[in-house]
Amino acid sequence: MVLFGSSLSPIRSRPKTTIYNCITAVVLRVVLNWKLAGDTTMKMRKGVLLVLFTLCFVLSLFAPSHSGFQSDELLVDDDEVGLPQTQSQQSSSVPKSDQTTVTTPSPTPRRKFSDSDSDSKIQFTLEHAFGDSDFAPAGTFSARLKTSAHGGQTLTKLRFSRNALTDAEKENFKNLVDGDDFYKIRLPSNVLSPPGKDFVVTSVRARCLPRETLDEHFVIHTDGVNILGVNYGAPAPCSYPRPAKLPSKWSFNSYTILKNTEQAPRTPLFIQDVLKNGEEGEGEVVAPPERSFWAKYWMYVIPLGLIVVNAVTQAMNMPEEQASGQPGGAPAAPGAVQRAPSSAARRR
Amino acid sequence: MGTMLRGFLLLLSLLSITAPAFSLYEDQVGLADWHQKYIGKVKDAVFHTQKTGRKRVVVSTEENVIASLDLRHGEIFWRHVLGPNDVIDRIDIAMGKYVITLSSEGSILRAWNLPDGQMVWEAFLQGPHSSKSSLLVPASLKVDKDNVILAFGKGCLHAVSGIHGEILWKKDLEAESFEIQHMIQASGSDLIHLVGFVGSSRFDSYTIDAKRGELLKHDSAAIPGGYSGQASLVSSSTLVVMDSAGSTVTTISFQDGKVTFSQTPVSTLIEDFVGKAKLLALKLEGVFAVKTGTHTTFVRVTVEGKLEVVDKINHATAVSDVLEISENRQAFAFVHSRSNGIDLTVKLGADWNHDLLKESIKMDQERGSVQKVYINNYIRTDRSHGFRALIVMEDHSLLLVQQGAVVWSREDALASVIDVKTSELPVEKKGVSVAKVEESLFEWLQGHVLKLKGTLMLASPDDMAAIQSLRLKASGKSKMTRDHNGFRKLLIVLTKAGKVFALHTGDGRIVWSRLLNSLRQSETCENPTGLNLFPWHVPHHHALDENPSALVVSRCGPSDDALGLLSFVDTYTGKELSSSSLDHSVVQVIPLPFMDSTEQRLHLLIDASGQAHLYPKTSDALSVFRPELSNVYWYSVEAETGIIKGYALKEKASDDYSFDTRSIWSIVFPSESEKIIKTSTRKLNEVVHTQAKVVADQDAMFKYISKNLLFVATVAPKASGDIGSSTPEESWLIVYLIDTITGRILHRMTHHGAQGPVEAVVSENWVIYHYFNLRAHKYEMSVIEIYDQSRADNKDVWKLILGKHNLTSPVSSYSRPEIMTRSQSYFFTHSVKSIAVTSTAKGITSKQLLIGTVGDQVLALDKRFLDPRRSVNPTQAEKEEGIIPLTDSLPIIPQSYITHALKVEGLRGIETVPAKLESTTLIFAYGVDLFFTRFAPSRTYDSLTEDFSYALLLLTIVALVAAIFITWILSEKKELRDKWR
């Protein structure tokens, strides 16, 4: 169940508890809908419900048992594009103790070196603030730091786990929604030595986030180990005036994208090519795309058609005229003949 | 046949592309454009009046211009703009035929031919470290029959041949941080004394043989009481120095290898002395001047070294250098300003009680205090000495005063334009049509007959001249009323001098000028500098009888935390309506799109501490502003730290009109790899006509049009120097497009092997920027076009019919943008000083780029050349759309220089203003010179040209009507004849 497919990069979201939660949500909704709906589609709905319940049941068997953990996770995987990650890999990469890691006040990242020296794991903290309040930890990003042969370092395989909102935070968020105030987040500008030069702060009007859950969308612009900026906001449009709305579920639905800089297109260097093309261009005329007969000749066809139609109607009228005009036609003819030369003479 | 036809069509289309969109005929020059030459505030002047022939004065200015002016009329004979990187230190005249300039901290010495300004030679002087510079052109010092010019710079003394600029010898003084004060030639000998200071406590004197460059003697001594940086040479062996506290005068005598000091407290010279005294930089024999507050005291140093007060003047005074008028007779002048004029006094150096000349000169307008004066003498008809004085005023104007009158004046403040805004002229009064009063029907007809003659090539040269003058007159372009096409406007110009000018767009004349009182130096505000100009009150509709006004924002010093000043100026009369000094600093001014009930525009001033202040401070304005409070955002670019921050206003207000702000986003550029060198935004008043762009094959693309788009260019810190200082591998240019409301990075792109300087222009949905490509060793221009993908679905006709489109839904920065960018780079031959884009009233007319080239000209380049969709072989449909086949470089068509043959020396900015006529835009380019023209990017498709012959049209119509009548009569007759037959 991919909740969101980004057009920016091929990312496969792999929520683990989300699926569980979402499906329950869907089920609830379906139940609601079903109650509202008439009896006519009841049978069909029942069937769907049955399928969903079984699905839910099966998934709940596989789902990890920490039900208190409300966070959603999303994996951004450069290497394994589109490959669904297995549960085991996920649980290994995100330690069970990530809740505690996050809640520890010191934001120092823990660097774990894996087997190869060129590939190290790194974590950094997302902190949030409600309006003008102080920043508090809100989640953890973990990523792989790849060191390339020539010394450049790049972040890959970003994954994110968000802490559940506490009651106080929920209350704060409600206040923000009431006041149409800012929900702020920040990240260190350097993931190796946070906060680096300064924190990268960004904020969004709190009213933009709530949908069914709290939907958020991160685009983290990185340059090596530096974070330059974060595009943060709701994936859905959020146009003014923003209605005050609270989420039905107090959990975050997060989508994250890592973005590196793009290469500028090279300036065309093709003087020779142009010359070559120019020489050849004389010989072979670029054939215009073949158009349909109608597109080519409509201007001839329509007048022709009109003429034909005209001719046909005239032909149709002719016999009628001849039929009706025969009796009176003979006496009229001499007059016409008589008059004709005189008029011609006058004109001349 | 088909191919031929197609080829012909292609040729035609190519011709239509390559044909300049704008070019002038010779006789059209000066009809719609004007050009004015300036030099800037004079900082040094040398007269050249000895020989018969043209009397002239050579000046160097703050704008780094060296110019030769006609002493009779103040016209420029010749001038050279050395540019901001080559600051002129000293000028002098050598051998009566060369102008010598020492520039760039004493490292470049040049000689210019005095009559025509051609450069004769140039010498590059090198030295170990930078230092103050000094220039000495000895009159009678010859080495091998060659005149020697001595130039001190970069810690070295150079002797340069006056004839061909060879360096004869060079002496490194091997003294770190030796700051030279004076270079003195001992009279009648070949010895040169260099006196100066090391740090603030040591006095050094060197004696050098000018023939061979040998160091003969070096004396050094510590100065008691320290040194404040002010020194005055009173004789060839005595220097007077002010101590660092500004309370004691130290006389240094360095005769015969002995350095002796004697200290005198200022309070013994001036009785009621408090505060700090300043030493005026003078070169008077035996006399120095001390400035205390507004008083200037002249003190004589006697032979025994005693000090005695000679004179005391209670005004702000400018004193000239000494002028040798005859053997052993020296004169000098001092000038001080009065309420409506200036007083000029010339005295003999030896005799203080006797005035050679005392004149008071009336001036018709406020020019502030006198800053500098240079005098020159001449022999009157009665064989007595006459004096003329060149005076530099506070408003940077230059006056020549002779015989108690201002002979000529130059408004050289206009060489340092800071900001330009336009103001509409008053509406023409009803009842009186100016055109009818000015010429009768007969004259009108005569004019058109002349024009007809011109078009039929029957006109004689006299007629041609008449036509030209008629054209100028008939266009009525210098009238002081609003015209139908919106060509006539007032350009309101703020200059560095603190003077505001109104220039008429028709002929460039100064309608009014005003030295703003709030922008003059005062005790509370030491160094006021103008920042910006904003339209404050633009009456329309019901309030048309009121005069519009402009807001001048300035601050008291160069730093960001200096207190701000506001001044309001009536744009019709130039009257300063009111002014106020603020109790906070001004870092940024945000003109808000709101007006209060009296049609005053609301402005938000941001101070250094991040507080926002609303102006005008009225409750009315506040009630307009308060509902919009939560929708006001602003951003700041901190180029030094590499951080861009966004802010919003807080609802709570500390007092009624000021608001706290809070940071809502930040973008942090890593300082080891990126350095901000350029930011650029769209012009606030730009109008975009169509949101969609129809591309070939009947498809449409929706432009991403946002007022909050910020273009940022960063380079590698290593590559932030000059071109060539870094290798392509270690230099890159990264460009960003940032939404300034949310701080989203919409687009990021790296150009490897590229470096600055970057010039950029943002308009509609595109950015064009100019930079240097190190790999290709060429300048490049790139374009980024941004399209909105979220609206791309609206192309379905059925959706449009059924109303299921989102075209009318409001756009929000908080919605996730779905944008698509297209970009392309092209080589460009020139380096660029400034880029602007044409702007028209409704934004329908296609755009042209206005490029200020390195040659100080303005080049118009069609935006179509910078289309990212250009391809090598465009399809037929694309060709029809107007896409030009891809080339690797942008063409420079000589006819599309809108400055035609003129140069806007020292070009700094190009301002475009839409006229009322959609096809036309008004262009004002400024630097040391000013240039104005009208420009139609797609030709004047909506009006007839000015030289359109109405008479010919009338004649044709009359002829046709007559022909119809004649033929009708003829045919009637013939018919009648036929009937009778």
DSSP notation for B139-187 = TT-EETTEEEEEEEETTEEEEEETTT--EEEEEE---TTEEEEEEEEPT
Share of chain B above pLDDT 70, in %: 91
Check B750 against A286: CB less than 8 A apart: no
Per-residue confidence (pLDDT) for residue A13, from 0 to 100: 37
Per-residue confidence (pLDDT) for residue B434, from 0 to 100: 44
Residues of B in contact with A154 (CB under 8 A): none
B533 pairs with which residues across the strands? B552
Contact predicate B935/B838, CB 8 Å: yes
Asked if pLDDT for residue A293 goes beyond 80, the answer is: no
Share of chain A above pLDDT 90, in %: 4
Check B668 against A267: CB less than 8 A apart: no
Give the residue ranges of DSSP H helices in B475-599.
none
Range from B313-322, B352-361, B419-428 that averages highest in pLDDT: B419-428
How is residue B290 written in tokens?
A: 């001390």
Provide the edge-to-edge strand list for the sheet that holds B398-402.
Answer: B370-379, B385-393, B398-402, B405-410
Instruction: Report the alpha-carbon distance of residue B118 to residue B474 in Å, rounded.
Output: 41
Band of residue B960 on the pLDDT scale cut at 50, 70, 90: very high
Compute the nearest-CA separation of A120 from chain B (Å): 21
A203, A268, A274 ranked by CB distance to B664: nearest? A203
Which site among B3, B814, B871 would you substitute to test the A interface, given the most A Cβ atoms closer than 10 Å to its Cβ? B814
Asked if pLDDT for residue A35 goes beyond 70, the answer is: no
List pLDDT tens digits, range B115-145: 888 999 999 988 887 778 888 887 777 766 7
Nearest CA in chain B to A129: B664
Check A197 against B6: CB less than 8 A apart: no
Check A204 against B742: CB less than 8 A apart: yes
- For residues A10 and B331, the model is more confident at B331
Per-residue confidence (pLDDT) for residue B673, from 0 to 100: 87
Q: Is A137 on the interface with B (CB under 8 A)?
A: no
Per-residue confidence (pLDDT) for residue B795, from 0 to 100: 63
Q: Is B872 on the interface with A (CB under 8 A)?
A: yes
Compute the nearest-CA separation of B624 from chain A (Å): 19
Band of residue B156 on the pLDDT scale cut at 50, 70, 90: confident
Q: Is B887 on the interface with A (CB under 8 A)?
A: yes
Neighbours of B706 (CB within 10 A): 20
Asked if pLDDT for residue A99 goes beyond 50, the answer is: no
Per-residue confidence (pLDDT) for residue A33, from 0 to 100: 43
Share of chain A above pLDDT 70, in %: 50
- Measured torsion, CA atoms of residues B365, B368, B369, B375, in degrees rounded to the nearest 10: -50
pTM of the complete model: 0.79
Per-window interface: A 282-301 vs B, CB < 8 A: 285-286, 288-289
Check B814 against A205: CB less than 8 A apart: yes
Domain ranges in chain B are 82-222, 671-828, 836-948, 955-981
Compute the nearest-CA separation of A214 from chain B (Å): 15
Residues of A in contact with B823 (CB under 8 A): 264-265
Helix then strand count (H, E) for chain B reads 9, 65
Per-residue confidence (pLDDT) for residue B473, from 0 to 100: 65
Per-residue confidence (pLDDT) for residue B739, from 0 to 100: 92
List pLDDT tens digits, range B205-264: 888 888 888 888 888 888 777 777 777 777 777 888 887 777 788 888 877 667 778 788
Compute the nearest-CA separation of A307 from chain B (Å): 28
Q: Is B755 on the interface with A (CB under 8 A)?
A: no
Residues of A in contact with B674 (CB under 8 A): 223
Residues with Cβ < 8 Å from B968, sequence gap 6 or more?
none
Per-residue confidence (pLDDT) for residue B785, from 0 to 100: 93
List pLDDT tens digits, range B263-308: 888 777 777 777 777 777 777 777 788 877 777 788 888 777 778 7
Residues of A in contact with B666 (CB under 8 A): 198-202, 229
Q: Is A196 on the interface with B (CB under 8 A)?
A: yes
Share of chain B above pLDDT 90, in %: 26
Q: Is A346 on the interface with B (CB under 8 A)?
A: yes
Q: Is B967 on the interface with A (CB under 8 A)?
A: no
Compute the nearest-CA separation of A246 from chain B (Å): 18
Instruction: Report the alpha-carbon distance of residue B535 to residue B512 in Å, rounded.
Output: 17
Which site among B672, B745, B769 would you substitute to test the A interface, given the most A Cβ atoms closer than 10 Å to its Cβ? B745
Per-residue confidence (pLDDT) for residue A290, from 0 to 100: 66
- For residues B311 and B408, the model is more confident at B408
**DSSP calls for A177-216:** HHHT-EEEEEEESBSSSTTTTSEEEEEEEGGGSBSSSEEE
Mean pLDDT in residue range B191-206: 81
Ranges B203-207, B788-792, B949-953: which has the least confidence: B788-792
Check A198 against B666: CB less than 8 A apart: yes
Compute the nearest-CA separation of B110 from chain A (Å): 41
How is residue B600 written in tokens?
A: 């005053």
Ranges B317-326, B576-585, B726-735, B965-974: which has the least confidence: B317-326
Mean pLDDT in residue range B110-117: 90
Q: Is B212 on the interface with A (CB under 8 A)?
A: no
Check A231 against B669: CB less than 8 A apart: no
**Vertex A107, ends A105 and A109: CA angle to 5°?**
135
- For residues A267 and B677, the model is more confident at B677
**Vertex A222, ends A220 and A227: CA angle to 5°?**
80
Q: Is B667 on the interface with A (CB under 8 A)?
A: yes
How far is C-alpha B426 from the chain's CA centre? 28
SS3 B353: coil
Within 13 Å of residue A71, how many CA atoms lie on the same side as its CB? 20
Contact predicate B413/B499, CB 8 Å: yes
Per-residue confidence (pLDDT) for residue B727, from 0 to 100: 86
Instruction: Report the alpha-carbon distance of residue B122 to residue B145 in Å, rounded.
Output: 20
Asked if pLDDT for residue B197 goes beyond 70, the answer is: yes
Q: Any idea what DSSP says for residue A110?
A: P
Nearest CA in chain A to B6: A285
Per-residue confidence (pLDDT) for residue B439, from 0 to 100: 57
Mean pLDDT in residue range B762-767: 92
**Backbone dihedral region for residue A50 (phi beyond 0: left; psi -120 to 50: alpha; all else: beta):** alpha
Residues of A in contact with B789 (CB under 8 A): 7
Residues of B in contact with A215 (CB under 8 A): none
Per-residue confidence (pLDDT) for residue A270, from 0 to 100: 56
Instruction: Report the alpha-carbon distance of residue B584 to residue B448 in Å, rounded.
Output: 61
Within 13 Å of residue A107, how many CA atoms lie on the same side as its CB? 23
A7, A203, A223 ranked by CB distance to B673: nearest? A223
Per-residue confidence (pLDDT) for residue B737, from 0 to 100: 94
Q: Is A190 on the interface with B (CB under 8 A)?
A: yes
Please report the ipTM that was assigned to this predicted complex.
0.78
Per-residue confidence (pLDDT) for residue A289, from 0 to 100: 60
Asked if pLDDT for residue B974 goes beyond 90, the answer is: yes
Per-window interface: B 898-957 vs A, CB < 8 A: none
SS3 A287: coil
Asked if pLDDT for residue A309 goes beyond 90, the answer is: yes
Band of residue B19 on the pLDDT scale cut at 50, 70, 90: very low
Range from A14-28, B107-121, B376-390 that averages highest in pLDDT: B107-121
Band of residue B433 on the pLDDT scale cut at 50, 70, 90: very low
A197, A202, A285 ranked by CB distance to B742: nearest? A202
Compute the nearest-CA separation of B561 from chain A (Å): 23
Within 13 Å of residue B753, how many CA atoms lie on the same side as its CB? 14
Asked if pLDDT for residue B454 goes beyond 80, the answer is: no
Contact predicate B286/B237, CB 8 Å: no
List pLDDT tens digits, range A114-171: 444 467 888 888 999 888 888 888 888 888 888 877 777 888 888 888 888 888 888 8
Asked if pLDDT for residue B929 goes beyond 60, the answer is: yes
Asked if pLDDT for residue A347 goes beyond 50, the answer is: no
Cis peptide before A195 (omega within 30 of 0): yes
Residues of A in contact with B667 (CB under 8 A): 200, 228-229
Contact predicate B278/B246, CB 8 Å: yes
Instruction: Report the alpha-carbon distance of residue B93 to residue B114 in Å, rounded.
Output: 8
Query: What are the CB-based long-range contacts (under 8 Å, 24+) for B377-383?
Result: B377/B323, B377/B325, B377/B331, B378/B49
Per-residue confidence (pLDDT) for residue B680, from 0 to 100: 93
Asked if pLDDT for residue A339 goes beyond 60, the answer is: no
- For residues A80 and B728, the model is more confident at B728
Q: What are phi and psi of B859, to 5 degrees?
A: -110, 135
List pLDDT tens digits, range B545-569: 778 899 999 988 888 888 888 999 9
Beta strands in B452-516 (DSSP E): 489-495, 499-504, 510-515
Instruction: Report the alpha-carbon distance of residue A70 to residue A59 in Å, rounded.
Output: 16
Check A263 against B665: CB less than 8 A apart: no
Band of residue B904 on the pLDDT scale cut at 50, 70, 90: very high
Residues of A in contact with B642 (CB under 8 A): 197
Asked if pLDDT for residue A90 goes beyond 70, the answer is: no
Instruction: Report the alpha-carbon distance of residue B280 to residue B288 in Å, rounded.
Output: 7
Ranges B749-758, B797-806, B962-971: which has the least confidence: B797-806
Residues of A in contact with B630 (CB under 8 A): 180
* CA torsion through residues B843, B849, B852, B855, sign: negative
Per-residue confidence (pLDDT) for residue B931, from 0 to 100: 94
Asked if pLDDT for residue B153 goes beyond 80, the answer is: yes
Instruction: Report the alpha-carbon distance of residue B442 to residue B475 in Å, rounded.
Output: 18
How is residue B513 written in tokens?
A: 């000028």
Residues of B in contact with A343 (CB under 8 A): none
Mean pLDDT in residue range B38-46: 91
List pLDDT tens digits, range B652-700: 655 678 888 888 999 999 988 899 999 999 988 888 888 888 777 777 8
How far is C-alpha A209 from the chain's CA centre? 16
Q: Is B742 on the interface with A (CB under 8 A)?
A: yes
Residues of B in contact with A282 (CB under 8 A): none
Check A233 against B816: CB less than 8 A apart: yes
Residues of A in contact with B663 (CB under 8 A): 201
Class (C level, CATH) for B82-222? mainly beta
Check B668 against A198: CB less than 8 A apart: yes
Nearest CA in chain B to A260: B748
Per-window interface: B 773-832 vs A, CB < 8 A: 773, 776, 780, 782, 789-790, 809-812, 814-816, 818, 823-827
Check B670 against A228: CB less than 8 A apart: yes
